[in-house]
Structures are given as structure tokens and as C-alpha cells.
């Protein structure tokens, strides 16, 4: 049997081919120039000395075929080659999965996210894991009074020195799988006000309607496995929750014990709906009927925020990840505004959906929109460059015939 036949390829050879393929694919998704022939020659010289260029070329096309069946991006210069053969296809598929697992980011622990107990405000009882970039409270007294926002205002003021809040399942309506469990840790911002104002997801606004007051959150992390206070963390009881139904409490002795048992617990960054589009300056302030934005007179601050949003859009790794996410959702690349589709990812741009909500927040793939160049240019044609047109505004413009 000739050396280049499919059956002769070892797992090590296939793995080398897949790794080289992914190196090229990553560059393509980042829109960085590369020469396939150079990668192919280097692969042959260093790892596949018995293979011809034609054999390697065909193997790359096989990998494209497997990725196409997995509904994932593939290199445009390597068109999918059908008839891979079920045995080889399954081997390539498994190697792809193994490579993905190998590249998973290192697991983070609580102390990696929040280095010290001194940075923790306290604990708050919740019905389940945090599902939006807000932490909700009940109002106190009349809705027009300052006291109505008392709890949220305290959280915002405390966030300057102690931004982290640990949430634990408790209360009459707590979800059974969260009762007595440590579910999330959030880094609070400094803007507080009506819950409906701080959210943009209509379903979340309806779901959280009973809690009219909130403080904004910059990051949310979920505790893996939702450790139970008594069963998993060896706390003597659940009394740390006493008084935390309405606000945030910090019983010093119990907090120290909780921290010691939790600080090495793994956490995962939450995948939440994008936050509302506003500016958190780091100074506590109440949002009444409008979200805080940067005044046109604040040129230095405005320039700083403009740089932040451009850095997010130009981050090659984040941009590539956003395009992969878009491909997975649609089965091809698609403009989120006008629905233009193409198998060529270079036809699309990444656009930051919430440019003013900067703070010191981790930008996630979900915070970027994939737009065609026309819609992307339109988004930045807003009179205020710090407030580009929203997705809803872009779609209204398209429905009106793009006047």
C-alpha cells in the first residue's frame, strides 16, 4: 500500500496536521496574512517527512470536511474533500475534540478573581445564580424618596473599596438546587437606580420586576457545582444568611470562616446577556430616568473610553472568537443587523455592543456584534461617537431602506 494512503496515517501524523490547520485557521479568523504553502512545507520538514505536498493538501481538505460537518469555520483555501472515509473521519473528529480540550483555559479559583477577603462587601441571599449584570434589592418606602434606594446605594458606595459580593441561595422562593448553596460572586459597579433602567433584556426586566432597585455589576462568576454551606464547605450551619434577605451583610467571624473554605473553590465567568449601554465612572451615583453618559465637554475622559472600545474591537483573539461564535449560531457568517451571510469570515467586522459600560470589566465574545462593513460604518455614524447606533436602531434603519 502506498505511503500516502489514508490508512497509513498515524494518530501522531493526523494530530500534527490538525494542529497546523488550526494555526492557519486562527490567523485567517484574525484576518492576519499567512501563506499556506509555508505552513505545509514546515509541517512536512518537521513532522511529516514521508508525506508529499499533495498528500498533506488532501489531508487538510479532509479536516475542512470534518469541520464543515461539525458546522464550524474552515479554511477557505482548503475546500472540504468528501469521501474522507468513516474511520479516518472519526479519528480526525476525535483529535479535533482532544485539541480543543487541551486548549481550554486554566481553571480559575475564587482567590484568582478576588485576591482577598478585604475586597468582599459581604453576602446576600438570592433565589438562584445571578442572571444579569445587576444585583437587585427591594425598595424602601416611597419610590420617589432617597431611602427607596438605600440598599443599592450602600452597595455602590462600598464597591469603591470592597467591590465583591458573594451570593448564597436563600429565602422563601429559593430554587431547590440553590438552597444553602454559594452560587455566585459579583464585582459591583458604582451606578444604582431602577432595575428596569439598568437592563436591556426585556425578558430579564419582566422576570426581575418585583425587585425595583439594583446596583450595576461589572463581572459575575459562578461557583462550580454550587457548594453547599454545610455539606461541602463544612460550615457549622446556614446562619451566615441571617439578615441577608434585604441587603448585604458581613458578619466578620463567619465571613472569615467562609472565605477560608471557599478561596480555593473553582469559579467560571458567567455567560450573561449584554449589559445596558452606559458609563460607570467609578464614582457612586444614582441613575434616575436616564443612564449616565460622558458629557461632550469631558474630552479627556471621552477619548479614554473611545480607546477602550477600539481596543476591544481590535483585539485579534477576541475578534476571532466572536466570529467563531457567530458561525456556530448561524451555520455560516452572518451580519447581526441585516442578515447578510457569507462563508468568508473576512467579509465581517466585530463591533462592541456596549462601548460606554467600561469600568474594569472583562469583555466577552457575547459583548461583540458581528456586522457587515456597511452596517458597521452606519453604527459609528451616530452623532456621538461614544454612543454608536444600537442593534435595534440599525435594524430600523435597514427596514426604512437605509436612507
Same domain, 129 and 185: yes
Same domain, 251 and 304: no
Residue-level pLDDT at 221:
94
Prediction pTM value: 0.67
Asked if residue 1 belongs to a domain, the reply is: no
Residue-level pLDDT at 244:
63
Asked if residue 293 belongs to a domain, the reply is: no
Residue-level pLDDT at 277:
77
Same domain, 277 and 165: yes
Asked if residue 209 belongs to a domain, the reply is: yes
pLDDT tens by residue, 152-211: 999 999 999 999 999 999 988 899 999 999 999 999 999 999 999 998 888 888 999 999
pLDDT tens by residue, 22-33: 999 888 887 778
Same domain, 231 and 365: no
Same domain, 122 and 44: no
CA 145 to chain centre: 36
- Per-residue pLDDT, averaged over 333-356, amounts to 86
Same domain, 95 and 114: no
Same domain, 242 and 307: no
**349 pLDDT higher than 70:** yes
Q: How far apart are CA 117 and CA 2, in angstroms?
A: 65
Domain count of the fold of the chain: 3
pLDDT tens by residue, 10-67: 999 999 999 999 999 888 887 778 899 999 999 999 999 999 999 999 999 999 999 9
% of the chain surpassing 70 pLDDT: 89
Domain that holds residue 388: 299-399
The residue among 102, 136, 166 that closes a domain is 102
- Per-residue pLDDT, averaged over 80-106, amounts to 81
Residue-level pLDDT at 105:
58
What H or E segment, with its residue span, contains residue 134? strand 134-137
Residue-level pLDDT at 44:
94
Same domain, 188 and 272: yes
Same domain, 85 and 121: no
* CB-neighbour burial class of residue 300 (10 A; exposed 0-12, middle 13-18, buried 19+): exposed
Q: What are phi and psi of 176, to 5 degrees?
A: -55, -35
Q: How far apart are CA 104 and CA 243, in angstroms?
A: 40
Asked if residue 292 belongs to a domain, the reply is: no
- Per-residue pLDDT, averaged over 249-272, amounts to 91
Highest mean pLDDT, choosing among 141-145, 323-327, 376-380: 376-380
Asked if residue 81 belongs to a domain, the reply is: yes
More confident residue, 302 or 190: 190
Same domain, 50 and 117: no
Mean pLDDT score of the chain:
86
**Hey, what's the cell of 250?**
458581613
- Per-residue pLDDT, averaged over 370-381, amounts to 94
Same domain, 125 and 221: yes
Residue-level pLDDT at 146:
77
Asked if residue 45 belongs to a domain, the reply is: yes
The residue among 74, 102, 130 that closes a domain is 102
Confidence of residue 7 (pLDDT cuts 50, 70, 90): very low
Same domain, 181 and 316: no
Residue-level pLDDT at 301:
64
Asked if residue 291 belongs to a domain, the reply is: no
Confidence of residue 254 (pLDDT cuts 50, 70, 90): very high
Asked if residue 294 belongs to a domain, the reply is: no
Q: Which of 122, 279, 273, 146 has the alpha carbon at shortest distance from 213?
A: 146
- Per-residue pLDDT, averaged over 366-373, amounts to 87
The residue among 263, 286, 309 that closes a domain is 286
Amino acid at each position: 500500500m502506498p505511503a500516502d494512503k489514508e490508512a497509513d496515517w498515524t494518530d501522531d501524523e493526523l494530530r500534527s496536521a490538525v494542529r497546523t490547520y488550526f494555526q492557519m485557521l486562527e490567523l485567517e479568523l484574525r484576518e492576519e496574512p499567512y501563506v499556506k504553502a509555508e505552513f505545509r512545507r514546515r509541517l512536512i520538514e518537521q513532522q511529516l517527512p514521508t508525506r508529499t505536498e499533495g498528500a498533506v493538501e488532501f489531508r487538510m481538505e479532509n479536516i475542512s470536511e470534518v469541520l464543515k460537518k461539525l458546522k464550524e469555520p474552515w479554511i477557505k483555501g482548503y475546500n472540504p474533500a468528501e469521501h474522507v472515509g468513516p474511520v479516518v473521519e472519526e479519528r480526525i473528529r476525535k483529535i479535533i475534540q482532544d485539541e480543543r480540550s487541551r486548549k481550554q483555559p486554566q481553571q480559575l479559583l475564587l482567590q484568582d478573581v478576588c485576591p482577598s477577603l478585604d475586597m468582599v462587601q459581604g453576602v446576600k441571599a438570592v433565589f438562584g445564580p445571578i442572571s444579569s449584570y445587576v444585583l437587585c434589592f427591594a425598595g424602601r418606602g416611597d419610590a420617589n424618596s432617597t431611602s427607596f434606594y438605600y440598599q443599592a446605594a450602600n452597595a455602590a458606595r462600598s464597591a469603591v473599596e470592597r467591590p465583591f459580593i458573594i451570593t448564597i441561595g436563600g429565602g422563601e422562593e429559593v430554587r431547590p438546587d440553590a438552597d444553602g448553596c454559594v452560587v455566585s460572586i459579583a464585582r459591583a459597579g458604582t451606578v444604582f437606580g431602577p432595575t428596569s433602567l439598568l437592563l436591556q433584556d426585556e425578558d430579564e426586566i419582566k422576570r426581575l420586576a418585583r425587585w425595583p432597585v439594583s446596583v450595576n455589576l461589572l463581572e459575575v462568576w459562578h461557583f462550580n457545582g454550587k457548594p453547599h454551606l454545610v455539606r461541602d464547605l463544612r460550615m457549622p450551619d446556614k446562619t451566615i444568611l441571617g439578615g441577608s434577605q434585604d441587603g448585604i451583610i458581613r458578619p466578620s467571624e463567619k465571613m472569615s470562616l467562609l472565605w477560608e473554605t471557599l478561596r480555593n473553590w473553582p469559579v467560571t465567568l458567567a455567560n450573561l446577556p449584554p449589559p445596558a449601554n452606559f458609563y460607570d465612572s467609578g464614582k457612586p451615583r444614582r441613575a434616575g430616568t436616564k443612564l449616565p453618559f460622558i458629557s461632550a465637554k469631558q474630552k479627556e475622559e471621552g477619548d479614554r473610553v473611545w480607546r477602550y472600545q477600539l481596543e476591544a474591537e481590535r483585539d485579534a483573539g477576541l475578534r476571532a472568537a466572536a466570529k467563531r461564535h457567530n458561525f456556530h449560531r448561524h451555520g455560516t457568517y452572518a451580519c447581526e443587523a441585516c442578515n447578510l451571510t457569507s462563508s468568508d469570515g473576512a467579509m465581517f467586522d466585530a463591533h462592541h455592543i456596549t462601548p460606554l459600560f467600561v469600568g474594569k470589566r472583562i469583555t466577552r465574545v457575547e459583548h461583540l456584534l458581528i456586522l457587515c462593513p456597511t452596517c458597521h460604518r452606519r453604527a459609528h455614524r451616530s452623532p456621538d461617537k461614544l454612543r454608536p447606533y444600537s442593534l435595534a436602531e440599525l435594524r430600523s434603519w435597514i427596514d426604512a431602506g437605509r436612507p
